Structure 1
Amino acid sequence: MLNQSYTFKILWLCIIFSSCLSSNPYESAQQKLAPIYPFKKPAQKGDWLYTRIDKYQSLNDYIKSKPTSTDSIRKKIYIMLIGDFDSTQKEIVTGTAEYLHAFYGLQIDFIEMRKDADIFANSRKHPTQGQLQLSAKQIMNVVLKPQLPKDAATLIALTNYDLYPENSWSYIFGLGSTKERVGVWSMYRFGDPHKKEQKEQCLMFTIKTATHEIGHMFSLPHCAKYECCMNGSNSLRELNSHPTYFCPDCLAKICWNLNQDVHANLERTENFWLKRNNVTAKEVYQKSIERLSK
């Protein structure tokens, strides 16, 4: 017969072994990466967080919220273009689609461009600048929802028209639904890609906004803990200060959601920036990969 002390040791080892098996690899990655990512800087006047409070959401809270996700059928990101895009603008579209594929690890397909009256039904002139603006909510509810493909994880429209969400707002860069799997973003305010000195800036702004809005479409809230692509933006200055990458918390959430390995996500995205020779992004991903490998 086993003595009591020996039995206790076996039970204790079983508990430890069970704990190791049940540990969350996403929480582990989150903890390893946390020390090398900067916390959110204090908001300046006019910034998103200057007059708003974005509540912190843990990984466990995100999981409990039953976020929008992929499944055996819905596993593509679709992009619909709204407007007339010339060859230079299409280069921005192509670069953004390549980044979305690298970052989210999902197939990117394009859906036929819409040019009918539904898109312009609730359009308006900008209250002070006079340019045509399209209703982001009209595009999402009337144009995108009825055309959502059966195999779409998300459907997002990209337009070169300016956008507004409601009459009390001057404009927005983009809007994404956390439950309906649709969203829209605009490159209207991102500079003129036909000018050499503005082309890369336009691409970066477009990548940040697309990645951010699709994050919302996978039910990610705004991030207020770290400097992160999921930070809210009120201006081009603020958007410019935000990184293209996700913080450890948001990265853990999206990788859990899509059932993807965090290390694999970082390697895919690093390869994108290696090809484009973006020094800042390369350093962040290299440090992150090294940290996870320890």
Structure 2
Amino acid sequence: MPKTRKRSVVRKIPYARGFKNPKLKTSISAIGDLTQRPTNSNFIPKHYSQEGFSLIPEPTSVDDWLAQYNETGDTYQQFISGCPWFSTRRQPYLKQTFEPTGATILAKYPQGKIYLVPLGNFPVGKSPDISSLMEFTNHFFCCPVKVMSTLHLEFTKNNKVILVRPDSVKIQLTSRFHVKTGSFQLKVDSVLKELKELIPDDALCLIGFTMADLYETTPDLFVAGMAGGRNRVGVFSFCRYNPSVSFSQEHWYQLVEDVVSIREEEFKRIMLLRSCRLMVHEISHLFGLGHCIWFSCIMNGAGHLEEDFKQPMFLCPVDLRKLQSLFGFDVVSRYKRLGAFFRNNKMKEEESWIENRIVKIC
């Protein structure tokens, strides 16, 4: 998850100590043995061809993810062996109907849904369309998605932030406020704590999202979000994903919006694209997918926003196989639904990628 302090850019950046950049042969082997058919019926080996996928990019900044973190990555087989969603025991905290012999998440938890909950205001023309976020999430995971009622934020006279729960109970969130600029940030742990109390009985996971800025620790400029897999909750902010906003690399409270720098249609496209990418990346973590080191992939880690914005909208073959094993979807049908979404939202580059991918694997 992007988490920013001051960045600097230099030439020839080394990987984090201990990280071993996988070669193509190693990345291909991470896809797993395609002759071993899983129990769900939609598995077709050629859908996981690595053709057209590039290896993960080398770091170009000291703040890039792989320049900071020694990621080990999970192969497909390691994921299958360790992911608790495949267990014949009910996941902790889940209260819904459980079928231990089910081959996929929705076979094990037939009532299961992904829940999304907006936090605070989402001004028209300055934030992503919530119904479009729900639609993309549904197409990406091939899982029922439901949007909960908005959790409102109120501000006290002494600049404290109050979360108003659906039962009208008011909770003070931990936050910080800058008097001169009027900027504020919510502490991410404080929000996660309250979201845990709101998980519906039929939820596989619950994701809160907001246009308010977030932080984790005092030195942070910001943090885009955080997901807690064990508790099945996550929260993230679209505040700095706004293409009209520029911000300081020194002070968290210095954000400037240039409302005339980008056309309305282009703003809508970029804002939705970035928000959808962040949304499904975080939800994937809640379903057990870690950061990908095998190919260029939507599950690659990001050390800062510039790196985040350059990442693709698609799962590499390793992570596609992981997700398909979890949800049992038909890969081509899923691609077609995603392609229609990209076409309807004028995301031409992504639509073209989908079309080319379908040709390659069919």
TM-score of the alignment, normalized to the shorter chain, above 0.5: yes
**Counterpart selection for 2:298 from 223, 229, 240:** 229
Contact preservation (8 Å) 1:92, 1:202: no
Q: Deviations over 1:242-267 (max 9, x none)?
A: 01111111111111111222222222
- 3-state DSSP class of the match of 1:134? strand
**Cα distance in 2 between the residues matched to 1:281 and 1:148:** 33
Q: Which has the larger radius of gyration?
A: 1
Question: 2:179 aligned with 1:163, yes or no?
Answer: no
Cross-structure match for 1:292: 361
1:134 and 2:151 aligned: no
Percent identity of equivalent pairs = 24
Deviation of 1:38 after TM superposition, in Å, equals 1.2
Q: Is the 8 A contact 2:35 2:45 kept in 1?
A: no
- d(CA) in 1 for partners of 2:142, 2:58: 33
Structure 1's unaligned 5+ residue stretches are: 1-18
Question: Shift of residue 109 of structure 1?
Answer: 1.2
1:85 aligns with 2:122: yes
Q: Do the aligned residues in 2 keep the contact of 1:155 with 1:183 (CA within 8 Å)?
A: yes
**2:98 corresponds to which residue?**
none
Give the drift of 1:21. 8.4
1:279 aligns with 2:293: no
Instruction: Give the conservation status (yes or no) of the 8 Å contact 2:111–2:202.
Output: yes
- The 8 Å contact of residues 269 and 346 in structure 2, kept in 1 or not, is answered as no
Distance 1:38 1:21, change over 3 A: closer
Q: Distance in 1 between matches of 2:145 and 2:125?
A: 20
Q: How far 1:114 moved relative to its partner?
A: 2.1
Q: Does 1:75 align with 2:112?
A: yes
CA distance in 1, matches of 2:121, 2:34: 55
Number of corresponding residues: 272
Contact 1:155 1:182 in 2 (8 A): yes
With structure 2 as the length reference, what TM-score do the two structures score?
0.68
The amino acid of 2:73's aligned partner reads: Y
Question: For the residues of structure 2 that align with 1:89 and 1:291, how far apart are their CA atoms?
Answer: 38
Q: What secondary structure does 1:144 align onto?
A: helix
- Taking the TM superposition and a 5 Å limit, the aligned residue runs for 1:1-294 are 22-24=36-38, 26=43, 28-29=45-46, 31-32=48-49, 34-45=50-61, 46-68=63-85, 69-70=105-106, 71-89=108-126, 92-115=129-152, 117=162, 120-125=172-177, 131-140=183-192, 142-191=193-242, 192=244, 196=264, 197-293=266-362
- Secondary structure (helix, strand or coil) at the match of 2:207 reads strand
Deviation, structure 1 residue 28: 2.0
Structure in which a larger fraction of residues adopt helix: 1
Report if the CA contact (8 A) 1:223-1:230 is conserved. Answer: yes
Show structure 2 runs of 5+ residues with no match: 1-32, 86-104, 154-161, 164-170, 246-258
- Return 152-161 or 21-30, whichever deviates more: 21-30
